[in-house]
Structure 1
Amino acid sequence: MIALPTWDVAGAAHAGFEGFVTFEQLATADVPPRPGVYLVLRPALPPIFLPLSPAGRFKAREPSVSTDRLEREWLHATEVIYIGKASARKTRADGLRKRLDEYRRFGAGEPVGHWGGRLIWQLADSRSLLVAWKESDSPHELESQLIADFVQDHGRLPFANLRH
């Protein structure tokens, strides 16, 4: 298993994460098709929250939450705002590449099934958030370990991880 020495870009790079591209760059990034975990990071000033999410309405569900809730969920002491996983699916083209493309497309307003992590799309600078990934043959276990480590260090889940 891996451990992030710090919950920021430097700590993620030290732990072997790769990419560190924005959602705008993700469509053309060389994301591996294998299973793994990914982080969404925001190395910026305090956030500005949007009242409505531009994300897609998957199964006609509204992805927006109140700005009061966004403020309650926000953690100022970390750059990591979401931890996710990409499991192996039916074809070799699935995995991280497919899952991160779904996440990007959901944020662009398409009705794609990536409900987890949806709070990031209510950040005014969501397009400039960084995405980093790490291949793993055990993405479920690695995601669980990373989330448990994060909770141990911060006392709660990352901003956009609403449950685990």
Structure 2
Amino acid sequence: MIQSLRDQHFEGFIRFEEIPHEEVTTRHGVYAVVRESTAAPHFTVPGTGRAGTHYPASVLEAAWVYDATVLYFGRAQCKAGIFERLNKYRRFGDGKRSGHSGGRAIWQLEDAQHLKVCWRPTNNQDPVSEERALIEMFKKSHHGARPFANRINGTKSRP
């Protein structure tokens, strides 16, 4: 699926720790968190995310999608766009308050520091609709399962 993201004009593919040092766009858009390995994960409880926000191991195990490399799709509509949203996500993973708790399950992966993030500006398209479409595309190729850290379908409504 990583090649599929590249084919859809996603760019970046950098580690979270690189975000402050890279030229990440400030435009609105969508982003994905990818794990290059499809090996079985090792979960940590708690993870590196902000205290009090972890899931029990049983929830993580039930949500894991084997053979998937995409772990999360998100959207960025804030003032500084994708850069701001990804920086908040990174700060949350560092245990800080940041205003980004969506996708927090990734911070409970033992190899979270090796995950990569990529993004695509949505130009005139609605980031909410684009995020929802990416999740639906994932579900079609993974027997109806959402990406591991997407606990909802791109909106506040659950299936």
Q: TM-score, structure 2 length as denominator?
A: 0.89
| Distance verdict in 2 for CA 1:88–1:113, change over 3 Å | closer
Q: CA RMSD in A?
A: 1.1
1:46 to 18, 40, 51: 40
Residues 1-164 of structure 1 aligned to structure 2 (within 5 Å): 7=1, 9-44=2-37, 45-57=39-51, 62-89=52-79, 94-137=80-123, 138-154=126-142, 155-164=144-153
Out of 67-76 and 32-41, give the one that drifted further. Answer: 67-76
Whether the 8 Å CA contact 1:24–1:128 is kept in 2: the answer is no
Q: Which amino acid aligns with 1:145?
A: A
- Flag structure 2 segments of 5+ consecutive residues without an equivalent: 154-159
Give the total of aligned pairs: 149
Q: TM-score, structure 1 length as denominator?
A: 0.87
Q: Which amino acid aligns with 2:75?
A: K
TM-fit CA distance, 1:151: 1.4
Q: Which amino acid aligns with 2:127?
A: P
| Separation (CA, whole Å) in 2 of partners of 1:27 and 1:104 | 9
Q: Percent identity?
A: 37
Deviations 1:27-85 (A, max 9, x none): 2111000000000000112211001022124xxxx211111111110011210000000
| Separation (CA, whole Å) in 1 of partners of 2:97 and 2:47 | 13
- Flag structure 1 segments of 5+ consecutive residues without an equivalent: 1-6
User: Which ranges of 4 or more aligned residues in structure 1 deviate by more than 6 Å?
Assistant: none
